[in-house]
Chain A
């Protein structure tokens, strides 16, 4: 029991004060040898380990040098031009530059960690506020300055200065006008309701082929087409609101939510713009008649007026009244009776208004 101190728990061993001899010789011998500390809180690195680290750092710096030379060389060797050549050039330049910077950074970090001495530094906290004397002095200086400037004394000077500053303060508010013009009723209408050049009803056009659709051709139940308005096939501003999906049903599949007066022989047209945030909702399952929006999984029952069966959308996809012209092509009979797409500030309950309008008529 001569070595009693070792068996004791650590917290019971008195903290060793620097400069005093260790509590027992045995503990000192177990510790690896290191240099005595020159300054309080400063630890010098072990010279042997530092010498090893020097070689590692030198190797990393050499790699950085070679990669840097490689970068310059790649710039000369790999000429751009074709897609493949440009790709090779990019790869070589990016790769060598990455390697050079990475090796340089790793070298410097290793240098700091393994060669430079370690410091334990303490930064003391001080109160943020200045002392009362300083504050008093600043206050006096400020008031003296204000009085000397005549800001209080000369009324006209003061008021004209405020007057001069006022328009400059208002200017940013005026510039907000550039966010406009206000949409007006644009969000409530689509080109389906606008008159065509020849005065005939606007035809439905297959997106991609640019062909009008004969009702008799679109005759396979379970069919779907993406449809754009005639005359606006590539007008993106118009298409953002007017794009449709056209679906063909067996007559017995349609339920009460669908307005049958707006269909033609089991063909129904819905807005393709999701009523949630306006993504193109066109994933269609012909077995379940689900229309799915890819953005947030809103699901609509196409056989039942596109009512929402799942997801964040709050309203059904608006249905477009369609019919056929004298040549048998599908045409729009009117515009949508409610605004298409997502909600907007002044939209109100457009569905209710449309219902009341229909009841009056």
Chain B
């Protein structure tokens, strides 16, 4: 009894020490912080980026951001009158916009078009920029190569989903179409599988969002398989005429076909000039 009493006694005594309450608070905070760091989703905070060794990317990304993006999106990506906040848009949005040349935007029009990349926008620079924006507030991340491999998708299933959700704007073979006030749904012919996936996940510009819980990554891959498979299809008539359907086909039919018929009718019925 005495032995145990002796061993317990020093702790009991120290419990009443003036500094004990501070020690307990420090211990609790330490446990809480450590636990949070372990449990927090990977890559969603700057701390996590530091922990996973991506701190360099984030720092370099911030430099790139300040140089190329901050004039519209604000020095801390908080957004300005000419550009929305980028907190929470995620790495997928950055990769989509910058790798397709849409951002940095050339001018503040109705819509930023796809254009050739600036010299600085190397894949490495886009990685760093994406890491920085991802560190600001999470958001959709970029898909893996396997998630966007058209060979692994089912174009038939993807076609059904594409027809239900996409063709109203992008046309049945992804030829694009007009929207309101100068906006338009761009053609999908040049989009890479990764860009198609990112566009669905992030909803760039006027495009709606199709998040992973509603259209799963597998279903997105099926749609990518459909979009890429129709590009290679042969046009049975010889010329696709933009593949926008009866509008161009009818126009060509009327203008070219009827013109030929009119010319033939003129030739048949015209009086030959007779010498007097």
List residues of A whose CB falls within 8 A of some B CB: 31-32, 34, 43, 87, 109, 113-114, 118, 206-209, 213-214, 217-226, 247-248, 280, 282-288, 290, 292, 294, 297, 299, 310
> Given A226-B165, A299-B180 in contact, is the A286-B207 Cβ separation under 8 Å?
yes
Compute how far the CA of A316 lies from the CA of B102 in the bound complex, rounded to whole angstroms: 34
Q: In the complex, how many angstroms separate the beta carbon of B87 from the nearest chain A beta carbon? A: 14
Compute how far the CA of A247 lies from the CA of B209 in the bound complex, rounded to whole angstroms: 10
CB distance B205 to A225 under 8 Å? no
CB distance B165 to A288 under 8 Å? no
CB distance A294 to B177 under 8 Å? yes
> Given A292-B179, A294-B177, A299-B180 in contact, is the A113-B272 Cβ separation under 8 Å?
yes
Interface size class of B (residues with CB under 8 A): 20 to 34
CB distance B164 to A207 under 8 Å? yes
CB distance B236 to A226 under 8 Å? no
> Given A286-B206, A292-B179, A294-B177 in contact, is the A226-B164 Cβ separation under 8 Å?
yes
Check B211 for interface membership: any CB of A closer than 8 A.
Answer: yes
Among all A-B residue pairs, the 6 with the closest Cβ atoms: A217-B213, A285-B206, A208-B164, A207-B164, A224-B208, A208-B161
Q: In the complex, how many angstroms separate the beta carbon of A115 from the nearest chain B beta carbon? A: 11
Compute how far the CA of A219 lies from the CA of B209 in the bound complex, rounded to whole angstroms: 10
* Residues of A close to B274: CB separation below 8 A: 43, 118
Scoring B164, B214, B272, B274 by chain A CB atoms within 10 A of each residue's CB, the highest score goes to B214
CB distance A218 to B214 under 8 Å? yes
- Nearest A residue (CB) for B140: A220
* Residues of B close to A109: CB separation below 8 A: 267-268
Question: Can you list 14 A-B pairs with a CB-CB distance of less than 8 A?
Answer: A31-B276, A109-B268, A114-B272, A118-B272, A207-B165, A208-B160, A218-B211, A219-B211, A220-B209, A222-B208, A284-B169, A285-B179, A285-B206, A310-B180
Check B219 for interface membership: any CB of A closer than 8 A.
Answer: yes
Check B85 for interface membership: any CB of A closer than 8 A.
Answer: no
* Residues of B close to A217: CB separation below 8 A: 211, 213-214
Q: In the complex, how many angstroms separate the beta carbon of A52 from the nearest chain B beta carbon? A: 13
Compute how far the CA of A320 lies from the CA of B236 in the bound complex, rounded to whole angstroms: 43
Compute how far the CA of A208 lies from the CA of B214 in the bound complex, rounded to whole angstroms: 12
Compute how far the CA of A297 lies from the CA of B211 in the bound complex, rounded to whole angstroms: 28
CB distance A34 to B180 under 8 Å? no
CB distance A209 to B276 under 8 Å? no
Compute how far the CA of A225 lies from the CA of B219 in the bound complex, rounded to whole angstroms: 14
Check B262 for interface membership: any CB of A closer than 8 A.
Answer: no
* Residues of A close to B185: CB separation below 8 A: 283
List residues of B whose CB falls within 8 A of some A CB: 160-161, 163-165, 168-169, 177, 179-181, 183, 185, 203, 205-211, 213-215, 219, 236, 267-268, 271-272, 274-276
Q: In the complex, how many angstroms separate the beta carbon of A25 from the nearest chain B beta carbon? A: 16
Compute how far the CA of A224 lies from the CA of B177 in the bound complex, rounded to whole angstroms: 18
- Nearest B residue (CB) for A90: B236
* Residues of B close to A208: CB separation below 8 A: 160-161, 163-165
Compute how far the CA of A262 lies from the CA of B268 in the bound complex, rounded to whole angstroms: 69
> Given A208-B160, A217-B214 in contact, is the A286-B180 Cβ separation under 8 Å?
no
* Residues of B close to A290: CB separation below 8 A: 179-180
Q: In the complex, how many angstroms separate the beta carbon of B247 from the nearest chain A beta carbon? A: 11
* Residues of B close to A31: CB separation below 8 A: 275-276
- Nearest B residue (CB) for A294: B168
Compute how far the CA of A344 lies from the CA of B104 in the bound complex, rounded to whole angstroms: 50
- Nearest B residue (CB) for A226: B164
CB distance A287 to B205 under 8 Å? yes
Scoring B177, B180, B213 by chain A CB atoms within 10 A of each residue's CB, the highest score goes to B180
CB distance B164 to A284 under 8 Å? no
Compute how far the CA of A286 lies from the CA of B168 in the bound complex, rounded to whole angstroms: 14
Compute how far the CA of A218 lies from the CA of B205 in the bound complex, rounded to whole angstroms: 19
CB distance B272 to A283 under 8 Å? no
* Residues of A close to B207: CB separation below 8 A: 286
Q: In the complex, how many angstroms separate the beta carbon of A138 from the nearest chain B beta carbon? A: 40
* Residues of A close to B179: CB separation below 8 A: 283, 285, 290, 292
Choose among B168, B205, B209 the residue that contacts A283 (Cβ–Cβ < 8 A).
Answer: B168
Compute how far the CA of A113 lies from the CA of B267 in the bound complex, rounded to whole angstroms: 10
Compute how far the CA of A38 lies from the CA of B179 in the bound complex, rounded to whole angstroms: 71
> Given A208-B160, A294-B168, A310-B180 in contact, is the A286-B208 Cβ separation under 8 Å?
yes
Compute how far the CA of A299 lies from the CA of B276 in the bound complex, rounded to whole angstroms: 67
* Residues of B close to A294: CB separation below 8 A: 168, 177
- Nearest B residue (CB) for A214: B213
Compute how far the CA of A32 lies from the CA of B215 in the bound complex, rounded to whole angstroms: 83
Q: In the complex, how many angstroms separate the beta carbon of B143 from the nearest chain A beta carbon? A: 16
* Residues of B close to A218: CB separation below 8 A: 211, 213-214
Q: Knowing that A223-B210, A225-B165, A283-B177 touch, tell me 16 more A-B residue pairs with CB under 8 angstroms.
A: A109-B267, A118-B272, A206-B214, A208-B161, A208-B164, A209-B219, A217-B213, A219-B211, A222-B203, A224-B165, A224-B210, A283-B168, A283-B185, A285-B206, A288-B206, A290-B179
* Residues of B close to A207: CB separation below 8 A: 164-165
CB distance A225 to B214 under 8 Å? yes
> Given A285-B179, A290-B180 in contact, is the A223-B211 Cβ separation under 8 Å?
yes
Q: In the complex, how many angstroms separate the beta carbon of A353 from the nearest chain B beta carbon? A: 31
- Nearest A residue (CB) for B170: A283
